[in-house]
Amino acid sequence: MIKPRLFQFAAAACLALFAGTSLAQWSADPLVSTPVADGDADQGVPLARATSDGGVWISLMDNGPGNGYKPRAQRLSAGGVRMFPGNGPILANRTNTATFVYDMKVDALDNCIVAFDDNSSGTTVVTVQKVAPDGSLPWGPTGIQMPATNNVLAPRVAVCADGTYVVAWAISTSVFFQRVNPNASLGTAWSVFEASRYHAMSDLQAGATGGDVIALWVRGETTNAQTSRKGLQMQKFDSTDAAVWNAGAAVEIYTSQQTPLKSIQNGYFPALVPDGSGGGIVAWYDNGLARNAWLQHVESSGNSRFAPQGLALSNIASGELRLSATVAYHAAANAYTVAYQRSNTGQSQFGLSAQRVDSDGVLHWGGGSGAVVVPMGSFQSSFINVNAGSCGAAYLTWMQYTSALNLEIQAAALDLNGLTTWTPNILPVGIRATPKGRLSVARSSTGPMLIGAWIDGSAGAGDILAQNINFGGSLGTPPCPADFDADGTVDFFDYDAFVICFEGGACPPGKSADFDGDCTVDFFDYDAFVVAFESPC
């Protein structure tokens, strides 16, 4: 039996109790979120992406300065501190009074890479801009304009492992790709073309090596963007721009058809999740007769892991619709957590559920409603996001209507069995009684927390707010790891509580003896706790 040698830790405990902490801005109050961009007029369309220091880049459109929505980028530290004055640097003198889909990624040097439509030259063109970690614009005040993109909207961008960037956009029957070198020069270009098919970019992500890039696009049955039934296709291109999967033919993710009706919804662009090994994962919902949520994983070889047309995530054949599917990949377990909204067929009752899927396509949380996070009720969930945690945990975030106008930002954690693990089960994240929109969430690269950003406020007068969500189910400054009994102080009661838990006794609520998070309990956990106990927070 391990006995706590308390006298050896007295000095360290005193140090831990009185050590200073770094400046932090994150609020522990869900009524008081961190401002990212505010001021006169409207700020909107935030995208959050993680940086190597544990913080995030947040890009946005700002209707405050001058005429039209200007693209900006603001950076938050891991502690929630704004790094640049005001709402961050303006990326181009865009004057369009509407906003459209755009994209942002972060490269290995923590540069923010933003692709957007820009009419500052007098003609709307696809533009890509780089923002350095210090807020400067290495590619100049106008960025790089993509050739032959007149009146093109909704570009995507990927940051490749070899340091190049790929920008993609669609024009009618074609998807176009342009490689951009780090020095701002244009590289090679290529396209996918079908004369009789409407195309639209859905998502673009880097592959695992070199200049590889994986593209997901919407493919219509005709050239009419509104009336055409729509499916999904995926392809990987290597550093020579060659299509490498399926002998060069696009991989069919979901094929539209008339009988029985199969199509995805107009204006719906599912996200692509890289698997870290050169493959791509997508979850989506269909707008046809099945109205189900689906999952497919195209492996690095180009083989589809699940059945053609995807794995159905519910076996409820009628009486229920599934919407807004999103997926997280648990790479260590080769498994998936998919979250989606449920509704009755009249769409007057709504709920939020999740499903755990293993690599063989087995549904682990039942074949019906899955793990119910929000029971069926009168109000919808939207902008659902799921992130994978250690040892099979999954963290869900979403926007929840609480009235016909107002929404809350909410979060929950699920364990391997689909059970919620926080108290309360649903964590209030941002609960001001205001309209909200466009929740974007990134996982911190250095600590156990998520960072979310959203529009907060009425249409035309919104601000961008942000909030961290600690994996233990709290907001604000992350708790000290050695505060094992969660009483707000680090002392010998924490040491005793850990030893009892480590030896198989009762653990404090929400705590585990797996202190190093490797999904096993051994002496490495004991050593890790001692190091944490002796270290200031």
Torsional sign, CA 469, 471, 472, 478: negative
Helix (H, G, I), strand (E, B) or coil at 526: helix
Q: Token pair 């929400």 is at which residue?
A: 510
Q: Token pair 């003896």 is at which residue?
A: 513
Measured between alpha carbons, how far is 218 from 323 in angstroms, rounded to an integer?
A: 17
pLDDT at 7: 31
Q: Is the bond leading into 428 cis (omega within 30 degrees of zero)?
A: no
Measured between alpha carbons, how far is 351 from 344 in angstroms, rounded to an integer?
A: 9
Find out whether 500 and 486 touch, Cβ atoms under 8 Å: no
pTM: 0.92
Find out whether 181 and 201 touch, Cβ atoms under 8 Å: no
CB-based contacts of 226: which residues, under 8 Å, 6+ apart?
266
Displacement of CA 332 from its chain's centroid (Å): 19
- Nearest partner of 356 among 330, 328, 337, 371, judged by Cα: 337
| Gap between the terminal Cα atoms of the chain | 29
Angle (nearest 5°) at CA 410 between 408 and 414: 160
Helix (H, G, I), strand (E, B) or coil at 351: strand
pLDDT at 52: 97
The CA–CA distances, whole Å, from 83 to 42, 45, 46, 338, 465 equal 21, 20, 16, 34, 15
Residue 143, both tokens: 């960025």
Measured between alpha carbons, how far is 3 from 519 in angstroms, rounded to an integer?
A: 24
- Nearest partner of 65 among 83, 48, 44, 90, judged by Cα: 90
**Helix ranges restricted to H, 102-191:** none
Q: Token pair 């490495």 is at which residue?
A: 524
Q: Token pair 């030893």 is at which residue?
A: 499
Displacement of CA 375 from its chain's centroid (Å): 24
DSSP H or E stretch at residue 136: none
pLDDT in tens, the chain (537 residues): 333 333 333 333 333 333 333 345 899 999 999 999 999 899 999 999 999 999 999 999 999 877 899 999 999 999 999 999 999 999 999 999 999 999 999 999 999 999 999 999 999 999 999 999 999 999 999 999 999 999 999 999 999 999 999 999 999 999 999 999 999 999 999 999 999 999 999 999 999 999 999 999 999 999 999 999 999 999 999 999 999 999 999 999 999 999 999 999 999 999 999 999 999 999 999 998 878 999 999 999 999 999 999 999 998 877 899 999 999 999 999 999 999 999 998 999 999 999 999 999 999 999 888 999 999 999 999 999 999 998 899 999 999 999 999 999 999 999 999 999 999 999 999 999 999 999 999 999 998 999 999 999 998 899 999 999 999 899 999 888 899 988 889 999 999 999 999 999 999 887 889 998 888 999 999 999 999 999 888
pLDDT at 15: 35
DSSP H or E stretch at residue 386: strand 381-388
Longest dimension (CA), the chain: 79
